[in-house]
Chains A and B, each alone.
Chain A
Amino acid sequence: MSKSFSLFDGFMIGGGIIVAGLLLQFTSGGVVWDALAWPANAIVLAVFIAIIIAIYLLGRKFDALRFLGTYKAAIPAMIYAVILTIIMGLTKQTVDGTWLNNMLAFWPLVLIYMYIAVILGIITIKHTIKFRWKRDIPFLLNHLGLFIALVAATLGNADMQRMKMITAVDQPEWRVMTNNNDIQELNIAIELKKFIMETYDDGSPKRFASKINIYTKSGKSFTATVDVNKPAEVDGWKIYQYGYDTQMGAMSNISILELVRDPWLPVVYTGIFMMIAGAVTLFFIGAGRRKKS
């Protein structure tokens, strides 16, 4: 199939997408991710999946669309992604940077990864329709897993909340500071009971932790200890040890906590766990099987 198409065509399509991205970047500036907050991201997701299904269905008629589900489209897409991500790895990235200094908002990079997601979607449909257990379980774990993780992480990012809360000993606190330094009030209050800092004999830090009481408007009340690497959880929030009064060190009477809520996390984790399972099948099956079939 698609005999008339070659890798070169794949590179041309990818190149076209990058040029389109550059034009978008030039005319409208970088990608505004915050605009994707709920429910916009749900709508975008529905439209995105509808487009993928439409491409798949129309691919039966049009060679050019069917071509998107082939190696010759996928490989150039991955090579472009490698190159653009290398640029990202070689340039200093800042949140308020522009063009190459803020690659996450750089249209060509975003569009190429979107293009990869489209390809993943098309081949997922292809393999679901012509499903064969032994071939397609590993295939779908790898490809659909990546599709889910990639799409959910990207679209869900705007719904993620990260706040800092400065707690002082014995004073319940419910106000938090957003990344833009706005003050907000939460439905949870946290009271610091004790900040714990331990050091090794040479003075290097061994442990930072906060013993806290957590109260929620829904009526919960309990004690927890938040360590680095051991966040506490309440009502969809994860509470992390973030900082303390460095002047006071172990005597610090305050502890800075970070509160994170990410409603899309279960979806992203579904994708991640599928990919881990897929990697295990990759290890056991190896390259041999596909060559034979």
Chain B
Amino acid sequence: MTWESFIYFAIVAVVLWATGAWAAWKDKKTIAYGTTIAGLLVFFGYIVAMWVSLERPPLRTMGETRLWYSLFLPLAGIIVYSRWRYKWILSFSTLMALVFIAINIFKPEIHSKTLMPALQSPWFAPHVIVYMMAYALLGASALMAIYLLFFKKKEPTEQEYEITDNLVYAGLAFLTIGMLFGALWAKEAWGHYWSWDPKETWAAITWLAYLVYVHYRLMPRHRKPIALATLIVAFVLLQVCWWGINYLPSAQGSSVHTYGTESTQ
């Protein structure tokens, strides 16, 4: 399997997801589940095939991590849909997955087959996959916040706040586990579980920012729009942690998380 065949798998998956999104609007639940899951299987099939042909997990480059992100967005979407029956969530998740697929088609950061010794570890796959899941869930929560703050004309309902909270709790759970898996891996790889490497510093910032949201929401008599705004700020900080760090002067040359010009994690 190569990147040349990506577009075919992507088109099939997106068509299936879009069908699922349409079916959700029309309240045709069986079709919504069936097509969304079929799309996930097609897309996951491509990832597995890439894994096999690369002879390593496709997690090293930005392009490869975007693959997982495109997979996890509809996955998070269908989980939310199954729990709270939110009609539009599948449209949102499909659209977001499409954005990341489009980036991979038009700006593919092509990828060599090699995996450097520092990344050859049983921790590699769980660390990055768990983080990608966290990013997808927290991305969905940020979209909810933007929708409720700027686009919804009426007052948001309690149920909408509850969904946002649940996305954040699930995302924060993954974020915590991803960060701590990273710490356990760092001990095996670099001799210390936490070295305040720029990536680690920004991981701590992101984590704390989501803790602010969670605690603020639990505080009696808080202001809900402020809580939603916190989510947007937190997601911006998460972007710095994920890829923005590659452009930060303070992190140049000092981050052990940079693996060549195409970096990940």
Interface residues, chain A, with chain B CB atoms under 8 Å away: 7, 71-72, 74-75, 78-79, 81-82, 85-86, 88-93, 104, 153, 160, 162, 200, 202, 204-208, 227-231, 238, 240, 258, 260, 262, 265, 268, 272, 275-276, 278-280, 282-283, 285-288, 290-291
Closest to A239 in B: B191
The residues of A that contact B219 with a CB separation of less than 8 Å are 7, 71-72, 75
- Docked complex Cα distance between A275 and B112 (Å): 36
Contact partner of B121 among A72, A75, A229, CB < 8 A? Answer: A229
Interface residues, chain B, with chain A CB atoms under 8 Å away: 112-114, 116-118, 120-121, 162, 165-166, 168-170, 172-174, 176-177, 180, 183-184, 187-194, 196, 198, 201-202, 204-205, 208-209, 211-212, 215-220, 237, 240, 248-251, 254
Tally of contacts, chain A with chain B, CB under 8 A: 135
The residues of A that contact B215 with a CB separation of less than 8 Å are 71, 74-75, 78
- Docked complex Cα distance between A88 and B237 (Å): 13
Q: List 25 A-B contacts (CB under 8 A).
A: A75-B219, A79-B212, A85-B204, A86-B205, A89-B248, A153-B193, A202-B112, A202-B114, A204-B116, A205-B117, A206-B114, A206-B117, A208-B117, A228-B120, A229-B117, A231-B188, A262-B192, A265-B187, A272-B180, A272-B183, A272-B193, A275-B180, A283-B174, A287-B165, A291-B165
- In the complex, what's the smallest C-beta–C-beta distance from A208 to chain B, in angstroms? 5
The reply to whether A89 and B212 contact each other, CB–CB distance below 8 Å, is: no
The residues of B that contact A93 with a CB separation of less than 8 Å are 196, 250, 254
The residues of B that contact A206 with a CB separation of less than 8 Å are 114, 116-117
Query: Other CB < 8 Å A-B pairs besides A227-B117, A276-B176, 18 of them?
Result: A75-B219, A85-B208, A88-B201, A162-B192, A205-B116, A206-B116, A229-B120, A229-B189, A230-B188, A260-B191, A272-B180, A275-B180, A282-B173, A283-B174, A286-B169, A286-B170, A287-B168, A291-B165
Closest to A142 in B: B176
- Docked complex Cα distance between A272 and B176 (Å): 10
Please judge, given known A-B contacts A93-B196, A162-B191, A207-B117, whether A85 and B201 are in contact too, CB under 8 Å: yes
The reply to whether B194 and A204 contact each other, CB–CB distance below 8 Å, is: no
The residues of B that contact A78 with a CB separation of less than 8 Å are 208, 211-212, 215
The reply to whether A287 and B169 contact each other, CB–CB distance below 8 Å, is: yes
The residues of A that contact B217 with a CB separation of less than 8 Å are 287
- Docked complex Cα distance between A231 and B192 (Å): 12
- Docked complex Cα distance between A188 and B136 (Å): 48
- Docked complex Cα distance between A144 and B169 (Å): 19
Which of A229, A280, A286 has the most chain B CB atoms inside 10 A of its CB? A229
Please judge, given known A-B contacts A78-B211, A89-B198, A93-B254, whether A260 and B192 are in contact too, CB under 8 Å: yes
Closest to A82 in B: B208
The reply to whether A238 and B191 contact each other, CB–CB distance below 8 Å, is: yes
- In the complex, what's the smallest C-beta–C-beta distance from A157 to chain B, in angstroms? 9
The residues of B that contact A91 with a CB separation of less than 8 Å are 250
- Docked complex Cα distance between A159 and B113 (Å): 41
The reply to whether A279 and B177 contact each other, CB–CB distance below 8 Å, is: yes
The residues of A that contact B212 with a CB separation of less than 8 Å are 75, 78-79, 82
- Docked complex Cα distance between A71 and B204 (Å): 20
- In the complex, what's the smallest C-beta–C-beta distance from A84 to chain B, in angstroms? 10
The residues of A that contact B240 with a CB separation of less than 8 Å are 89
Please judge, given known A-B contacts A88-B201, A89-B202, A204-B112, whether A104 and B176 are in contact too, CB under 8 Å: no
The reply to whether A85 and B192 contact each other, CB–CB distance below 8 Å, is: no
- In the complex, what's the smallest C-beta–C-beta distance from B177 to chain A, in angstroms? 5
- Docked complex Cα distance between A166 and B177 (Å): 36
